[in-house]
Amino acid sequence: MSKSYYEILGINKDASAEAIKKAYRKQAMKYHPDRNQGDNTAEAKFKEAAEAYEVLSDLQKRQIYDAYGKEGLKNSGYSGPGNSEDIFSHINDMFGDIFGFGGGGRGRRRDPNAPVPGEDLRYDIRVSFMEAVHGVNKEVSITKKETCWTCEGTGARPGNKPQVCPSCQGRGQVIRSQGFFQVSTTCSRCNGAGQIITDPCADCHGAGLINRSKKVSVRIPAGVDTGSRMRLSGEGEGGRRGGPSGDLYVVIHVDEHEYFQRDGQTIFLQLPVTMVRAALGCEADVPTIHGTTKLKIPAGTQSGERFSLRNEGVPSLRGGGKGDMVVEVKVQTPVKLNKEQKELLRQFDELSKQHEEEGFFSRLFHGHLGKQKKQAEDQEKVANG
């Protein structure tokens, strides 16, 4: 049989709300994942304690649990405990309760033992065009402040509690009179912390935090673009006095590609095609971000004409399909022709003249005159008819 929630927290069935909080705080500190990295047993215990606390700290849930056990909770519509994402949030709630966080007005007396959440961190990372398109795993090295576990982030030598600052009575601010005004300034004795540490922790010298270098692996999903942000929960700076860690935000910057361009999920490519092949039509090999594909270029294709290739674009970040690829044909005028090639082109030119006279230039130069002539003929017809 699995342990009861009371056994998990090591308390009696008639434990007071205060005793439950205290017992949970102890367990949470002991098995905190930051403190026990890679230790699955500790992680399981941490979650177990959170689950127990979630139920026992809620009077209604506790009553149901006492009477009918875990099954009873399920049957009464409680979605079931153990939602690990909530763990940190209710650590906050709990410490908030205990230490009078939340709802406190300005100038409220700050408890020197109150937890302080860790700062969020930002890390900018460069990835290649192809890495952004296909996704990549990166390991980043960050230096950050982590909770000092020697003093559990209090800054005080173990067994020694920080003292409420006597100058500001823990407010962190002192009020001075200047003429008619009262001005509130940061307490110089505690630098606004509201507490003073008389016997600092030897490891962190009273800061409660220690600088550490840490390698964090970041899974960058396929489809990210410059400006994409990823949040790594709990990888920011450590909290003090039991406060949760901040988050790490990884901000993506994508390098340009020599040939491909990108707009969201659409890939653009300029494809050079010889004059002759554009005229005669061909099947071209087109490099794509996924490999190569064939593209049928119809006879008579002009420079600048665009062709769409479905699903040859960038995968969607939110799942679902890939974008398209747009291939723009760039017809290449031949250079460095040899004698024979020149001769053939001259012959081609001779043969083309006939067409051209009925073509663009003839329309341009003679079209206006021709139109006048036709109008004159039509008028003559009307006159005669």
Judged by CB under 5 A, does residue 187 bind Zn ion? Answer: yes
Interface with Zn ion by CB under 5 A: which range of 147-155, 221-229, 252-260, 263-271?
147-155
Window 198-227: residues binding Zn ion (CB under 5 A) = 201, 203-204
Q: Which long-range contacts (CB under 8 A, 24 or more apart) does 85-94 make?
A: 86/50, 86/54, 87/46, 87/47, 87/50, 88/234, 88/244, 90/50, 90/53, 90/54, 90/57, 91/28, 91/50, 91/242, 91/244, 92/117, 92/243, 92/244, 94/21, 94/24, 94/25, 94/53, 94/57
Judged by CB under 5 A, does residue 168 bind Zn ion? Answer: yes
Smallest gap from Cβ 27 to Zn ion, in A, equals: 21
Smallest gap from Cβ 162 to Zn ion, in A, equals: 11
Q: How far apart are the first and last CA of the chain?
A: 113
Smallest gap from Cβ 90 to Zn ion, in A, equals: 25
> Residues 34, 146: contact at Cβ < 8 Å?
yes
Which residue from 132, 190, 297, 329 is in contact with Zn ion, where contact means CB under 5 A?
190
Furthest C-alpha separation in the chain: 123
Which residue from 50, 55, 114, 151 is in contact with Zn ion, where contact means CB under 5 A?
151
Window 67-96: residues binding Zn ion (CB under 5 A) = none
∠ CA 8-86-223 to the nearest 5 degrees?
Answer: 135
> CB-based contacts of 275: which residues, under 8 Å, 6+ apart?
331, 332, 333, 334
> Residues 218, 139: contact at Cβ < 8 Å?
yes
Judged by CB under 5 A, does residue 97 bind Zn ion? Answer: no
Smallest gap from Cβ 36 to Zn ion, in A, equals: 17
Decide whether 148 or 289 has the Cβ nearer to Zn ion.
Answer: 148
Decide whether 35 or 253 has the Cβ nearer to Zn ion.
Answer: 35
Residues 245-284, mask of contacts with Zn ion (x by CB under 5 A): ----------------------------------------
Residues binding Zn ion (CB under 5 A): 148, 150-151, 165, 167-168, 187, 189-190, 201, 203-204
